[in-house]
């Protein structure tokens, strides 16, 4: 090996080792975390938006019949997929009430994989990641 290729190889190794401790956002299959046999519909107010890859998330505050509030994390597909379906980041203003249909997390946590979302103006959009039951493929 020449000195130049040795230097390139060493630089690549250092770059690789330097990224080992960097946390990565995990991408998972629907079936690993959600139960297709447990559909649910939630009505809540948006408290947070994460328009990120590989999945976007909204967080909604849901009030039950007793007045108790539960904060739910709702998983959508990737931002590009949502854009292709007509959804924009600006459709999810904080404080907006939405209706979300989807599937409960296997963990029992208040986490939902959404198949669709209905906005206050009546527009209804598919939101599912490509491998989930509500993806429409």
- In angstroms, rounded to a whole number, what is the distance separating the alpha carbons of residues 29 and 64? 30
Instruction: Report pTM.
Output: 0.74
The domain ranges of the chain are: 34-135
Q: Read off the tokens for 23.
A: 């946390």
Q: Is the peptide bond before 54 cis (omega within 30 degrees of 0)?
A: yes
For 30-69, how does the pLDDT look when each residue is reduced to its tens digit (9 = 90+)?
788 899 999 999 999 999 999 999 889 999 999 999 999 9
Phi, psi (rounded to 5 degrees) for 92 = -115, 55
More confident position, 17 or 100: 100
* Architecture in CATH for domain 34-135: Beta Barrel (2.40)
Locate tokens 């299959």: which residue?
Answer: 29
């Amino acid at each position: 090996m020449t000195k130049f290729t040795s230097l390139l190889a060493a630089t690549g190794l250092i770059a690789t080792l330097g990224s080992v401790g960097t946390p990565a956002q995990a991408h998972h299959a629907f079936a690993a975390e959600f139960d297709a046999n447990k559909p649910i519909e939630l009505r809540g107010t948006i408290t947070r938006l994460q328009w990120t890859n590989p999945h976007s998330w909204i967080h909604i505050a849901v009030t039950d019949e007793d007045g108790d509030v539960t904060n739910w994390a709702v998983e959508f597909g990737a931002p590009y997929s949502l854009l292709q379906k007509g959804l924009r980041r600006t459709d999810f203003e904080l404080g907006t009430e939405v209706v979300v249909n989807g599937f409960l997390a296997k963990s029992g946590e208040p986490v939902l994989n959404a198949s669709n979302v209905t906005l206050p103006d009546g527009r209804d959009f598919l939101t599912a990641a490509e491998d989930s039951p509500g993806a429409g493929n």
